[in-house]
Structure 1
Amino acid sequence: MKKETFRELSASIPKEPGIYRFIDKDDIILYVGKAKSLKNRLSSYFNNSKGMSGKTKVMVDHAVRFEYTVVETEHDALLLEATFIKKFQPRYNVMLKDGKTYAYICIKKEAFPRVFFTRRVFKDGSTYFGPFTSKFRVEQILELIRKLFQLRTCNLNLSPENIQKGKFKVCLEYHIKNCLGPCEGLESKEAYDEKINQIKNIMRGNFASVKTHLREKMAMYAENLEFERASEMKEKLTLFEDYHSKSTVVSTTVQDVDVFALFSEGDEVYINYIKVVNGAMINTFLQEATRNLDEDAFIMSYTIQQIREKFNSIAPEVLVNIPGVILEEKEVKVNIPSIGDKRKLMEMAEKNINFYLIQKRKESVNAPRIAPAQRIMETLQKDLGMEKLPVHIECFDNSNIQGTNPVSSCVVFKNAKPAKNEYRKFNVKTVVGPDDFATMVEVVTRRYTRLIEEEKPLPDLIIIDGGKGQLGMATEVLRKLGILDKVTLIGIAKRLEEIFFPEDSIPLYINKKSESLKLIQQLRNEAHRFAITFHRHKRSMNFTVSELTKIDGIGKATAEKLLKHFKSVKRIVAASNEEVASIAGKRAANLVRSYYDEGSDEGTDVPPNSEIE
C-alpha cells in the first residue's frame, strides 16, 4: 500500500481503540493488529518506514487496503485481536511450519450423521467446523464429544428401509457402550438428531449446558472418591473452555445476543452486525444493501435472517436500533436497547458504521475514475461470479417462421461494445423444420469448431438467447469440444429476464437497474435483430430468385449468379445486354431482356451481403 494512498485516507481514521487488518488484492487478510489509537498505530506503518523490519515492509507493500473495528477499551482490542488471529490465521501473525491443509470437524449429511476429523471440505451439504491449526486439539474435542454423546462410527447406509429390513447387526462399539445401535433400530432418529443438534450448538459456542454437565460429573466422581476420573473430567472441562475462550468481554449481564445497527443514506443502506456469545463478542460484519421500494424495517428484518443463517446464530435475543423489525422466528426476542450494557453494544455497532462511511467517502473522492466500459464489465464479472473479466462476449439467437429459411446469428461484443465486423450469420444446413434445440447444436458446434481449428481466442462469456433447453444443448456441445471449463456459459429467458447457468435449475435474478443486465439485454436484442434481418434477407432472396426462374430458360443457378452480381432485379433490367451477357451469357441476357421488355413486374432490392458461415 502506497504512503500517498494512506495519507489520503488518514483523515477518516478514528483515534479510538480497536483492531486493524491489512488485506491484499485477493481479499486475504495478511495481518491483524490491535491499537490503543487506530489512527496513531496505522500512521506508524507509513511515517517510520526506516524503523520497520523487513517482514513488515513486505506486508505493507503487499497490502492494497486496510479495515478496522472500533471497540471500547484497549483490553477489548487485545482479546478481539486474539480471536481474529485464531479465526483467519494471517500469514504475518503466525509462523507457518508446513504446507498442510487445516483440520476440520465434519458432521456428515446422512441418516444418523457421523462426526469425524477431516482435512478436505466437500460441498455435499455436510456441516464443517474449523479450520483448526492443531490436529491434536481436534482429536481432543472429538474425544470429548464421543464421551458426551454416543455416536456411530461405521459408514453403513442407515436408511429407514435398510433398518426395517434388518440388514445390519450391532458391532463391538455397541457392546462397549460407544454406540446405542441405530443400525438395528435400537436408537430413534429423533433422539440421535437431538444429540447432533447439541453438538452443533457446542461447536458454535453455546456450551453452557455441557459445562454444567461436566462439573456435575466431576463433583460426582470426587464424592465417590474416584479422583482419577474426576481429574480426567477437569482436564476435559479445561480443554473445552480453552477452545471456546472468550474474545471480547462485554458484560457479565449480557449473554447470547445479536446486535444489528442500521443506517440509511438515500438508496444506500448499511447494517453492522456484532455477534455476542456467553458475554463475548466473537465476530463483526457489515452488510451493504440498495433500497428499492422497501422500508428500513423490512430491509432490517430480511437482512437479520440472512446474516443469522450465515453466521449460524441461535441467539435468543436480537438488538436493533429501529422499530418495526419482525422475524420469522417468533421465539426470538427483538428489543431496542435504551440503557445499560446492551445500549453500549448498539452504540459500538453504530460507531463502526459511521467510521466505515467516513472512510468510504474518502476513498470515493480519491479513487481514480473508471471508464464506463470497464465499470460495466467489472459489474458483470461480479454478478456472474466470473474468474475473468468478460472482455469478449458472444451471443446466439435463432430465427425461422414455421420452419422456413432457418437461420442463426452470433453477435460479438468487445469491451462492452459491438464488434460488428466479427458478427456471423449461419445458414442452417442439417435441421429440417422448426427445431431450435437442433439448430443451436449445429451453429454452436460450427462456430467453436472453427475457432479451435483456426486457433483463434475463445470468448470469455457465451450467452444463449433461450431458456434451460437451448442452454443444455449448448452445454453439451462445449463439453464435447473440451472448452466448457474455459468459458462462462449462460442462458437468458425472455419472460422474467432470468439468467441460467449450466446444470443449475435455480436462476439468477440481476437487479433490473444493473448495468450488467442491460449489457446482457443489449447483446440479446442485437442478436435477435441481426437474426431477423438475415432471415428477411434470405426470404427476399428466395422470392426474387423464384421471380427470375419464371423466365423460361433461366434456372436457379443462373438467377442466383445474376442476383449475386447485380443485387436486385431492377438493376438487372437497367443493365445493358453486354453487362448481363458477361455474367450469364448471351442467351440468358436475351431471355431476360425479352421477358422484361414485355412489362413484367420488377423485383425487390436485396441488402448488401454480409459474411455468412
Structure 2
Amino acid sequence: MIRKQKGRDLKVYAYLKLAIKPAVLSVTTMISADEAAYSGPYPDFKVAQTLSDLLEGLKPLLGTDQWLQNCHVFLAGDYQPLQMLLTQRMQQEATKLNFELAATYRNHWQKLATLIEQQHWVATKVSQDAFGYAVKGNQICLTTLFIRQESIQQRTAVTVKLQTSIEQTMKAYLTRFYQQKNHLTPTNVLLPKELTLATDREHNWQQPEHGFQRGAVLLAIKFAQSQVVTAKLDGQQAVRDLGTALGIPAPTRIEAFDNSNLQGADLVSAMVVFEHGRPLKSNYRKYKIKTVIGQDDYAAMREVIYRRYSRLLKTGSRLPDLILIDGGPGQVTAAQGVLEDQLGLLIPVAGMVKDQHHRTDHLLFSGQIVPLEKTSLAFRLLTQIQNEVHRFVITYFRQRHEKSGFASLLDTVPGIGPKRKQVLLRQFGAIEQIAAAPVAELVKLGIPTAVAENLNKVLSQANLD
C-alpha cells in the first residue's frame, strides 16, 4: 500500500519510505507530511529492513526511473510486474551468455518471493475495519483501523463518555459510525473478542480469535491505549502527585538541567522551567560552560548550578521548589554540594535517570529510587520535563557546534568526505542513527572497513544524549 501521509503516526511500527528526490527506500518509524510515499506497517523491523535491502539492491540493475516505478507497484501489493521484468532480464542476459548477471536477476526475485511467501502477503479485495478501545475513568477511547489489501490505510481515534457498559457504548458508536456518508460498510467489521456482543450478520460483525484479523484488532486496542496515555496532562494534579511521592510540598515551580558536549568540546548546559506542570519558556536559559576543560559532566553541572542560583540570590528572584537533574547520583551530588556548601540553599534535588533506550526510567531522590507508576501523572510530567530539557540543550549544542565551524560530527572523521557524508545522512537520517548502526552496515554503503570502524568509535565516544 502506497499513500501520502497527512497526519501523525506512532513510532512503534515499521514502515518503508520511498523518497523520490533522491530515490531512496529506507525503513522508518516516523511518517512525515512530505512528498515521499509510505508502505506498511510491516510485521517487524527485521522484515521491513530485509525487504528494503532486497529492493534497494535492484536499483543499480534497473536504473533509477524503472526502479522507482516498480517499487511503487510492488509495495502496493502487485508483485507480478517486477517478477515479469526480472524474469525477462534474466532470459536476456542468459541469451547473451552473461550467466552471472542472469543469476543475479534470478536470485533477487527468489529472495523476494521467499520473503513474500514467509509473511503471507496476499493482495486481496476484502475491505476490513478493525476496532479497539481503552477506558480511563468515565471516558472511553474508540479507535478504528481501515484495512485494505491487508495494509492499514488510515486510523482514527475518538474519546466519548462511557455509557452503562463498554458493549453498549461500542454498539452505539458503530451504529453512528456507519451512518456517516464517508464511512462505507466494509466486507468485515472486526471487534475485540473480549466484548459480549450479539452477532450482526447484516453488518458483518466479527470477533476473530486468531490470525491476521485478531492481530489487526490488537493493533487497534494498542492504538487506543496509546491515545489514553498521551491524553492532555493535568499539570496541577501531576505536580501534587509528584510532591506526595517525594514527601515534599507540591513543587509548583520546577527547574531542570541537562548538559551536552562533543568529546569535551563545545560543552554547554541548558535549563527549562515548569510552573504548575506547564513549561514556562520565557524563563528558559542557555549556558556556555566557561571553567571546565575536557569532558567533566560533574564539574559542568557544578558551574551552571552556581551561576544560576548565585544570580537568583543576588537579584532576589524566586527560587524553585524542586530542581531536576538529567543524570544519576554523581550529577545530583554535584548540584547539592554547590547549593548547600557554597550557597547555603536547601532546595530538593532529584535525578532523572534514563534507560538504555534513552527514555525516562526512574527518579532518584535522597539516594533512593522513587516508586512511580509509569502510567501515573507524576511520571508523565517527569518524562515531559526530561524530553523538553534534552530537546532544548541539544538544539543549543547544535547551534554552537555549527557556529564553531563543525558542520557535523562526520566532518571530524578522517576518510568521511562530502560524498560519503551525504550517503550516510541519506541512509540513516541523523547522527544518532549512524552511531547506532553496526560497522557491517556502514561497510555495505561502500565505506572502507577501517574508516567505518573509526567512525563507529568516534560516534560512540561522543555525547549524543
TM over 0.5: no
Where relative contact order (Cα < 8 A, 6+ residues apart) is larger, the structure is 2
Larger Rg: 1
